[in-house]
Amino acid sequence: MKYLDEYRDAETARRLAAEIKRSVTRPWQIMEICGGQTHSIMRFGLDQLLPESLTLIHGPGCPVCVTPIEILDKAMAIAARPEAILCSFGDMLRVPGSKSDLLSVKAAGGDVRIVYSPLDAVRLAREHPEREVVFFAVGFETTAPANAMAALQAEREKLQNFSLLVSHVLVPPAISALLSSPDCRVQGFLAAGHVCAIMGMREYEELASKFQVPIVATGFEPVDILRGVLDCVRQLEAGQIRATNQYSRCVRADGNAPARRAMEDVFEVCDRTWRGLGEIPSSGLKLNARFAGMDAEKRFAVDHLKASESELCISGEILMGLRKPHECPAFGVECTPDKPLGAPMVSTEGACAAYFRYRRNKRSA
């Protein structure tokens, strides 16, 4: 099967791992940004193929994991309103807020619906003019274009009962914040290929030059990731730093221009709070003045709600790459996928969920 079997070929993966071992002469620490990459690393045991001196650090690239807890509380407050239909992708329903989750609100009678596209929410608004339909718009640059298209479609149809609860975040400012931290241990990055497919490589070229760290765009299959690691290691060993594209079958230098135009039509850059990481300047998107009337926070007067994380949860340190999931005292005990304390345990891309699924019997791995 094109673009699947050959990127999971075991012999190719072993050859790449062997070349990485030959290339490494000193300790290096590389962060994979995306939770999808983390799950592939854990699922296929890629980290166990690498030399001990090369450490893979799991980054904050899980959109569910970094959605701030107060946004979840706002979503639940809206979903509990009798006039509202809250639409969301399914991975948000079990993410814990400060006291509950959307699945519990649904069980208590709230009208929470799983959709497969934000345009499904637009259709519901069209079919139910007597109800307020809200789409829970979260994610990185990958989901922002489709959410922008939903807003543009609702505007074209003059739907007055459609709104968005927005919690979009941007990857490059998060990388910049991590590299600016005095606690940063990261010496190179594997950038998320799907984000780069939308945004291109320009921002990463600027970051690589500014901080003198290699940034390599990769896909999500084993061969993709190992090629990215090898490229990163070779740059570090040679001291020749740049941003490179190992995912050229999907990523172009300038990204996807129509998708970016849709984002620019609907959103503007803003400061954004990341769950576990705090506020990062210019790291999010909000509705611009043209679409301010679709802002669900203001429409439902929930923009004042605040919340705080569980004191037992160390997800912030995990998302910053300072600790591994198995180093959390609550991991697999107080915190499991059935009863998660933090988003990384329940998200399908969360690092804690990956460790629980693939390494839960190896707490010291």
pLDDT of residue 364: 41
Structure tokens at 251: 């990523």
- pLDDT tier at 46 (50, 70, 90 boundaries)? very high
Mean pLDDT of the 35-50 span: 93
Let me know if residue 255 belongs to a domain: no
Torsion of CA 268, 271, 274, 279, to 10 degrees: 180
Q: Does one domain contain both 276 and 330?
A: no
Let me know if residue 250 belongs to a domain: no
- In the predicted structure, residue 60 carries a pLDDT above the cut 60: yes
Least confident of 18-32, 155-169, 330-344: 330-344
Percentages helix, strand, coil for the chain (3-state, rounded to 5) are 45, 20, 35
**CA–CA gap between residue 18 and residue 7 (Å, rounded):** 17
**CA–CA gap between residue 55 and residue 200 (Å, rounded):** 27
Higher pLDDT, residue 199 or 331: 199
Q: Does one domain contain both 69 and 163?
A: yes
pLDDT of residue 365: 43
Question: pLDDT tens digit string along 100-115?
Answer: 899 999 999 999 999 9
Q: Does one domain contain both 11 and 35?
A: yes
Instruction: Provide the edge-to-edge strand list for the sheet that holds 132-139.
Output: 112-114, 84-88, 132-139, 162-169, 278-287, 267-274
Q: Does one domain contain both 292 and 150?
A: yes
Q: Does one domain contain both 96 and 188?
A: no
pLDDT of residue 194: 95
Q: Does one domain contain both 99 and 179?
A: no
Provide the CATH number for the domain around residue 128: 3.40.50.11740
Structure tokens at 190: 């594997």
Domain assignment of residue 216, given as a range: 5-59+171-245
Provide the CATH number for the domain around residue 17: 3.40.50.11750
pLDDT of residue 363: 46
Share of the chain above pLDDT 90, in %: 72
Q: Does one domain contain both 149 and 294?
A: yes
pLDDT of residue 264: 97
Question: pLDDT tens digit string along 298-338?
Answer: 999 998 877 766 677 887 788 777 888 888 888 888 888 88
- In the predicted structure, residue 75 carries a pLDDT above the cut 90: yes
Question: pLDDT tens digit string along 205-255?
Answer: 999 999 999 999 999 999 999 999 999 999 999 999 999 999 999 999 999
Let me know if residue 9 belongs to a domain: yes
Q: Does one domain contain both 289 and 159?
A: yes
Let me know if residue 225 belongs to a domain: yes
Question: pLDDT tens digit string along 331-341?
Answer: 888 888 888 88
Q: What is the largest CA-CA distance in the chain?
A: 66
Torsion of CA 175, 243, 36, 147, to 10 degrees: 70
Q: Does one domain contain both 131 and 273?
A: yes
- In the predicted structure, residue 165 carries a pLDDT above the cut 90: yes
Q: Does one domain contain both 154 and 280?
A: yes
Strands, E assignment, the chain: 28-34, 54-61, 84-88, 112-114, 132-139, 162-169, 188-192, 215-218, 243-245, 267-274, 278-287
Mean pLDDT of the 137-154 span: 97
Let me know if residue 254 belongs to a domain: no
Let me know if residue 310 belongs to a domain: no
Share of the chain above pLDDT 70, in %: 96
Question: pLDDT tens digit string along 337-354?
Answer: 888 887 788 777 788 988
**CA–CA gap between residue 355 and residue 331 (Å, rounded):** 9
pLDDT of residue 361: 57
Q: Does one domain contain both 91 and 185?
A: no
Let me know if residue 309 belongs to a domain: no
263 in Cβ contact with 168 (< 8 Å): no
Residue written as token pair 């203001």? 298
Question: pLDDT tens digit string along 259-297?
Answer: 999 999 999 999 998 877 789 999 999 999 999 999 999
Q: Across the chain, what does the average pLDDT equal? A: 92
Q: Does one domain contain both 177 and 142?
A: no
Instruction: Count the domains in the chain.
Output: 3
Let me know if residue 321 belongs to a domain: yes
